[in-house]
């Protein structure tokens, strides 16, 4: 089976921008899931070499997530614009705390 072919079982097609944004959100969910899963693996062993290797993978998944986020921001301007509002709200809540 060819695991590198994303079109297995589906006709090869081009996606509209909003459809690609939806696909990227799913990719981001997969990265988040991988981060949580691999972190449990890090926590499950006392072997320092294995811990370090898996932690490296966790860190890479976090980079992938950030990269997908940048792609999503390019595809969805509203999603991008929400970042500033969320940062502002966090700063306001920090001041109030
Ligand atoms: Fe990844």
* Sequence-ordered alpha helix ranges (H) in 7-47: 17-43
Tens digits of per-residue pLDDT, 10-50? Answer: 677 788 999 999 999 999 999 999 999 999 999 999 999 99
Q: How far is the CA of 50 from the centre of ligand 1 (A)?
A: 19
Round to whole Å and give the CA distance between 19 and 59.
Answer: 28
| Alpha-carbon distances of 53 from 4, 45, 49, 61, rounded to whole Å | 24, 12, 6, 13
CA of 47 to the centre of ligand 1 (A): 23
Question: What is this structure's pTM?
Answer: 0.84
If pLDDT is split at 50, 70 and 90, which confidence band does 6 have? low
Domain-located, residue 80: yes
Contact (Cβ atoms closer than 8 angstroms) between residue 32 and residue 65: yes
Let me know if residue 7 belongs to a domain: no
54 Cα: distance to centroid of ligand 1 (angstroms) = 13
How many Å lie between the centroid of ligand 1 and the Cα of residue 74?
A: 19
pLDDT in tens, 37-90: 999 999 999 999 999 999 999 999 999 999 999 999 999 999 999 999 999 999
Q: Is residue 28 part of a domain?
A: yes
Domain that holds residue 73: 17-96
CA 36 to ligand 1 centroid distance, Å: 12
């Amino acid at each position: 089976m060819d695991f590198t072919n994303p079109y297995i079982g589906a006709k090869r097609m081009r996606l509209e921008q909003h459809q690609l944004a939806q696909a990227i959100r799913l990719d981001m969910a997969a990265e988040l899931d991988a981060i949580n899963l691999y972190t449990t693996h890090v926590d499950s062993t006392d072997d320092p070499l294995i811990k370090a290797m898996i932690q490296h993978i966790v860190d890479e998944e976090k980079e992938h997530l950030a990269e997908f986020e940048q792609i999503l921001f390019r595809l969805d301007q509203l999603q991008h614009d929400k970042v500033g509002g969320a940062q502002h709200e966090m700063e306001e809540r920090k001041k109030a705390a």
